[in-house]
């Protein structure tokens, strides 16, 4: 069983959260919702999903997790203003463990300065932001560049989830 950190704030894309969350849980993995305040309820942008934040980034250490999964929607843009969370993402990026971001999720990776020299995909409106941050952008369902996994949109959520599960099979367990 792997531990996965999933940062969320209000306005996350419901499907881009729910599909990977469900597939990870079905595979026996533990998902920790990371956000602004432990115990706070956050809601998806379509209002179909409400989730309670388990922990704040300042209380967590990247080495406690095997992967980081960033759903899209408006959540990544809100989270990029949280310095503790951005620092957690940056430190996680230095760990060499899988990081997966879908749709607008790469906004958080840009803020953590983790995209320079990498190839990613995203929602098309993030393309120029990624290129300006030094990434190469391609329009594909899933892009895997080393430990970095990215996808474009809600319709890619199943393929995105399969890529995350494959990456978890390759990685050693986190420290508890």
Q: Hey, which residues does 12 pair with through a beta bridge?
A: 44, 73
Tell me the C-alpha distance between 59 and 154, whole Å: 30
Helix (H) / strand (E) containing 40: none
CB count within 10 Å of CB 124 equals: 12
| Tokens linked to 89 | 């993402």
Contact (Cβ atoms closer than 8 angstroms) between residue 149 and residue 163: yes
Tell me the C-alpha distance between 15 and 153, whole Å: 9
Question: Which member of 79, 85, 103, 120 is catalytic?
Answer: 103
Mapped onto helix, strand or coil, the DSSP state of residue 83 is helix
Active site residue 103: yes
Per 3-state DSSP, the chain is made up of helix, strand and coil in percentages (nearest 5) of 40, 25, 40
Q: How many CA atoms lie within 13 A of 55 on its CB side?
A: 13
Tell me the C-alpha distance between 39 and 41, whole Å: 6
Active site residues: 103
């Amino acid at each position: 069983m792997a531990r996965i950190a999933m940062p969320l704030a209000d306005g996350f894309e419901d499907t881009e959260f729910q599909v990977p969350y469900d597939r990870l849980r079905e595979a026996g993995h533990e998902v920790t919702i990371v956000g602004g305040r432990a115990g706070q309820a956050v809601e998806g942008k379509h209002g179909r999903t409400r989730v309670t934040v388990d922990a704040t980034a300042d209380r967590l250490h990247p080495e406690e997790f095997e992967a980081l999964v960033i759903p899209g929607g408006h959540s990544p843009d809100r989270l990029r203003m949280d310095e503790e969370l951005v620092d957690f993402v940056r430190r996680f990026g230095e760990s060499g463990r899988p990081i997966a971001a879908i749709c607008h999720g790469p906004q958080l990776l840009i803020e953590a300065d983790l995209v320079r020299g990498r190839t990613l995909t995203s929602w098309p409106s993030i393309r120029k932001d990624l290129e300006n941050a030094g990434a190469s952008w391609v329009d594909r369902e899933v892009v895997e560049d080393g430990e970095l996994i990215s996808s474009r949109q809600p319709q890619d959520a199943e393929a995105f989830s399969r890529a995350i599960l494959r990456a978890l099979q390759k990685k050693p367990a986190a420290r508890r």
